[in-house]
């Protein structure tokens, strides 16, 4: 008996030494090899040519997971699919996510496209509620209790909301769905990567620990996120190193946080690099400075960050062409809220002087800028009517302490956003930043009758 015991100890020591040489502990080795099915849900929630980068990000993510060994039956893709074959595309049928120009569109599943890219479909896919799906091919997240899930979402956003081609997705609704998924016992661990402006507000104060969910976001609850690999607008606004090809002038090929995690995933051995390691790489590359950047955040069960990337993304051969990527000023970066203006200014610069295109683009640019000013004035006037000039201005800028959700009453926020949009016009990717101000109106206890009357006065039709 003692002899057998000693033999077992020796074997464990040998295995431990071997695992250490490979850069992994025994526990991680065993977890890697015994994990159930790997699932992924990839979402680009925007549409329109100037939002090229979002679908490019999602297509690139698909290629990484596919090369990592995930099967198409276990990868669910949401994207409007209006980029690859857009008449504006200088490379028809091709989407690139970095200046080197690999086609990331090839082979990407068309699970949910066009109007089927919706919050309801996204929620029903997560919950495997096939009967609740509208359109699409009906693919849902049929995960089991031993499975690992990776969700990657990239889009415009605002405080407490994510955009969809039509409508919003609210933070409270998202976390409620994640709680239901956990209660169903149909996953082991879930990792969620989110790129949008104010993306931290989707989880801060809302996502509890104990759900076996680990989240990283591109920005703090009160920060914008950034596009990258953007083509210059003019000679006075140059891109010096990693520039998009000339035919993509005015577009961003990717988003800073998204490109950071994907290029790191291709450059490192995903069997040894952990989620925490990748978080540090992303945070360093995305870090806020005087010119651009944001603070990458973590939420949920951060202990999951010791897991190897392989457990969620699969493993593939290392692509050494992406190794030297922790540079700061290598590419043009554009605030996501300004990406539309960046595109329109470029289009205006390129149009021949005096041409129809020149006048048309100038009108479009003027209209966009006027709308931004109008929504700024409307929300400021609304706050002044409700609270007075000084207090109203202060309320609009108030940011709750970390750990508190954006708003106490989410039904109030939904109703007041609808009230504001009905009277003052739809909130664009720029205007969505003002949702924090509307949330603060709810938090101040303003009654619906007051809100309706003040909105009508602030934005008379």
Digit-coded pLDDT (tens) for 317-366: 666 444 334 444 456 899 999 999 999 999 998 899 989 999 999 999 99
Number of residues that this document lists for the chain: 461
63 — pLDDT class (breaks 50, 70, 90): very high
Instruction: Summarize the confidence of residues 394-416 as an average pLDDT.
Output: 96
Please tell me which residue, 100 or 219, carries the higher pLDDT value. 219
Which pair of structure tokens corresponds to residue 362? 């100038």
pTM higher than the cut 0.85: yes
Q: Is the four-CA dihedral 414, 420, 426, 429 of positive or negative sign?
A: negative
Question: What tokens appear for 281 in the block?
Answer: 């790489």
State how far the Cα of 279 lies from the Cα of 273, in Å rounded to an integer. Answer: 10
Whether residue 197 lies in the annotated active site: yes
- Mean pLDDT, rounded, for 264-276: 97
Looking at 47, 54, 156, 434, which residue is catalytic? Answer: 156
Per-residue pLDDT band for 315 (boundaries 50, 70, 90) equals very high
What confidence score (pLDDT) does residue 95 get? 98
Q: Which of 59, 60, 148, 197 is catalytic?
A: 197
Q: Tell me the residue ranges of DSSP E strands in 70-179.
A: 75-78, 148-154, 157-158, 161-163, 168-170
Q: Per-residue pLDDT averaged across 243-260, rounded?
A: 92
**Mean pLDDT of the chain, nearest integer:** 90
Alpha carbons 94 and 81: distance in angstroms, whole number? 12
Percent of the chain with pLDDT over 70: 87
Question: Among positive and negative, which fits the CA dihedral 459, 411, 192, 286?
Answer: positive
Contact between residue 341 and residue 361 where contact means Cβ atoms under 8 Å apart: no
Q: What is the dihedral of CA 382, 385, 390, 395, to 10 degrees?
A: -50
User: 249 has which bridge partners?
Assistant: 231
* pLDDT category of residue 101 using cuts at 50, 70 and 90: confident
Which pLDDT score is estimated for 185? 98
Chain segment 117-144, per-residue pLDDT in tens: 999 999 999 999 999 999 999 999 999 9
| DSSP at 307 | S
pLDDT at 28 over 90: no
442 phi, psi to nearest 5 deg: -60, -45
């Amino acid at each position: 008996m003692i002899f057998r015991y000693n033999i077992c100890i020796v074997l464990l020591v040998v295995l431990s030494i071997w695992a250490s040489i490979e850069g992994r502990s025994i526990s991680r080795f065993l977890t890697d090899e015994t994990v159930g099915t790997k699932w992924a849900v990839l979402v680009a929630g925007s549409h329109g040519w100037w939002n090229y980068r979002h679908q490019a990000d999602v297509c690139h993510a698909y290629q990484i997971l596919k090369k990592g060994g995930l099967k198409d039956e276990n990868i669910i893709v949401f994207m409007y699919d209006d980029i690859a074959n857009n008449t504006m595309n200088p490379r028809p049928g091709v989407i690139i996510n970095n200046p080197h120009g690999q086609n990331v569109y090839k082979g990407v599943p068309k699970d949910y496209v066009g109007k089927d890219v919706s919050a309801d479909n996204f929620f029903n896919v997560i919950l495997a509620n096939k009967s609740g799906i509208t359109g699409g091919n009906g693919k849902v997240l049929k995960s089991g209790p031993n499975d690992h899930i990776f969700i990657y979402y990239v889009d415009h956003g605002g405080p407490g909301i994510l955009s969809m081609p039509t409508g919003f997705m609210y933070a409270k609704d998202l976390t409620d769905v994640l709680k239901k998924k956990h209660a169903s016992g149909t996953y082991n661990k879930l990792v969620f990567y989110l790129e949008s402006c104010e993306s931290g507000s989707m989880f801060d104060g809302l996502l509890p620990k104990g759900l076996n969910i680990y989240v990283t976001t591109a920005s703090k609850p009160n920060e914008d996120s950034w596009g990258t690999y953007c083509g210059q607008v003019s000679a006075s606004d140059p891109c010096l190193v990693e520039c998009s090809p000339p035919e993509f002038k005015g577009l961003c090929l990717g988003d800073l946080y998204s490109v950071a995690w994907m290029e790191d995933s291709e450059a490192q051995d995903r069997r040894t690099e952990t989620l925490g390691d990748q978080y540090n790489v992303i945070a360093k590359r995305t870090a806020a400075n005087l010119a651009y950047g944001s603070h990458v955040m973590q939420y949920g069960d951060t202990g999951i960050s010791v897991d190897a990337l392989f457990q969620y993304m699969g493993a593939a051969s290392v692509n050494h062409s992406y190794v030297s990527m922790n540079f700061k000023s290598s590419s043009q970066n554009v605030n996501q809220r300004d990406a539309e203006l960046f595109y329109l200014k470029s289009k205006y610069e390129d149009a021949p002087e005096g041409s129809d295109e020149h006048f048309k683009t100038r009108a479009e640019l003027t209209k966009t800028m006027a709308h931004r000013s109008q929504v700024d004035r409307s929300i400021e006037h609304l706050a002044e009517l409700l609270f007075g000039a000084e207090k109203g201005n202060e309320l609009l800028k108030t940011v709750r302490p970390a750990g508190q959700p954006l708003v106490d009453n989410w039904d109030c926020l939904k109703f007041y956003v609808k009230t504001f949009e009905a009277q003052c016009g739809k909130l664009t990717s720029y205007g969505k930043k003002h949702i924090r101000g509307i949330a603060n109106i709810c938090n101040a206890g303003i009654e619906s009758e007051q809100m309706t009357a003040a909105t009508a006065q602030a934005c008379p039709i």
